[in-house]
Structure 1
Amino acid sequence: MHTITRISEERRKEALDLSMYAFQYKVKEEDIPEKLKHYSCQEIYGIFKEDELAAKMHLLNHEVLLQGKTYKMGGVASVATYPEHRRSGMVDALLKEALIIMKKKGQTLSYLHPFKISFYRKYGWEVFSSLKKVTLKGSDLRPLPSAPGRIVRYKKETHPAEANEVYEKFALKYGGMLIRTPYWWDYSVYSDYTLAMYYDTNGHAGGYAIYKVSDKLIDVQEYVSLHFEAARAIWNFICQHDSMVEKAEIITSIHDPFPYYLSQPKVETSFNPYFMARIVDAEKFLSQYTFNTLEKNLVITITDQAAEWNNRTYVISNEEVTALNEEERGHEAEAEGISLSINALTAVLLGAQKADVLAEVGQIAGTPEAISAFHMAVPDIKPFFYDFF
Structure 2
Amino acid sequence: MKNEMKDRIEIRGCRNYDELLKVVRLCDAAFEKTPFEYFERHILKDATLSPEDTRILIVDNEIVSSVQVFPRTMYLNGGKIDFGGIGNVATYPAKRKFGYAELVMNDAINYMKEQEFKFSLLTTTINKYYDKFSFETLNRELIEINKVSPNFNKSIRKFNRVNDFGVVKNIYEYYNRDGIGPLFRDIKYWEAQFDFCGEDENLFLVFETTNSVEGYIRAVRENDKIKILEFAAVNDYLQIFKSLIESLCYQTGINDFEMFLSESEKQKLQLKNYISKIDSDLMILLFENRLTELQKRELTKYNNINYWLSDFF
Higher relative contact order (CA 8 A, sep 6+): 2
**1:129/1:384 contact within 8 Å kept:** no
Secondary structure of 1:285 counterpart = coil
Are 2:74 and 1:78 equivalent residues in the alignment?
no
- Map of 1:188 onto structure 2: 196
Q: Percent identity between the aligned chains?
A: 15
Give 1:201 shift: 5.5
- Map of 1:270 onto structure 2: 277
CA 1:26–1:185: 2 relative to 1, 3 Å: closer
2:291 to 279, 285, 301: 285
Higher helix share: 2
Please give the alpha-carbon distance, in whole angstroms, between the structure 2 residues aligned to 1:34 and 1:223: 22
Are 2:253 and 1:253 equivalent residues in the alignment?
no
Give 1:216 shift: 7.3
Q: How many residues align?
A: 292
How do 1:1-389 and structure 2 match up within 5 A?
1=6, 2-9=9-16, 10-24=18-32, 25-27=34-36, 37-38=44-45, 41-42=49-50, 43-128=53-138, 130-137=140-147, 140-141=148-149, 150-156=155-161, 159-180=164-185, 181-189=189-197, 191-193=199-201, 194-199=203-208, 203=212, 205-212=213-220, 218-227=226-235, 229-240=236-247, 241-242=249-250, 245-255=253-263, 256-257=265-266, 261-262=271-272, 265=273, 267-280=274-287, 282-286=288-292, 291=294, 346=296, 348-353=297-302, 382-386=304-308, 387-389=311-313
Secondary structure of 2:256 counterpart = strand
Could you state the TM-score of these two structures normalised by the residue count of structure 2?
0.78
**Per-residue Cα deviation, 1:136-183 (whole angstroms, up to 9, x for no partner):** 13xx4278xxx9x93342155655222222222322343122122223
Please give the alpha-carbon distance, in whole angstroms, between the structure 1 residues aligned to 2:180 and 2:172: 13
**1:254/1:271 contact within 8 Å kept:** no
Please give the alpha-carbon distance, in whole angstroms, between the structure 2 residues aligned to 1:214 and 1:114: 19
RMSD across aligned C-alpha pairs, in angstroms?
A: 3.5
Runs of 5+ unmatched residues, structure 1: 292-344, 354-380
Secondary structure of 1:350 counterpart = helix
Runs of 5+ unmatched residues, structure 2: 1-5
Secondary structure of 2:94 counterpart = helix
Secondary structure of 2:215 counterpart = strand
Name the amino acid aligned to 1:247: N
**1:216/1:245 contact within 8 Å kept:** no
Name the amino acid aligned to 2:194: D
**2:20/2:44 contact within 8 Å kept:** no
Name the amino acid aligned to 1:352: K
Give 1:131 shift: 4.4
**2:66/2:104 contact within 8 Å kept:** yes
Could you state the TM-score of these two structures normalised by the residue count of structure 1?
0.64
CA 1:97–1:175: 2 relative to 1, 3 Å: same
Segments of 4+ in structure 1 off by > 6 A?
31-36, 213-216
CA 1:159–1:278: 2 relative to 1, 3 Å: farther
Give 1:249 shift: 1.2
Name the amino acid aligned to 1:238: I
CA 1:26–1:223: 2 relative to 1, 3 Å: closer
Please give the alpha-carbon distance, in whole angstroms, between the structure 1 residues aligned to 2:29 and 2:256: 33
Please give the alpha-carbon distance, in whole angstroms, between the structure 1 residues aligned to 2:142 and 2:278: 5
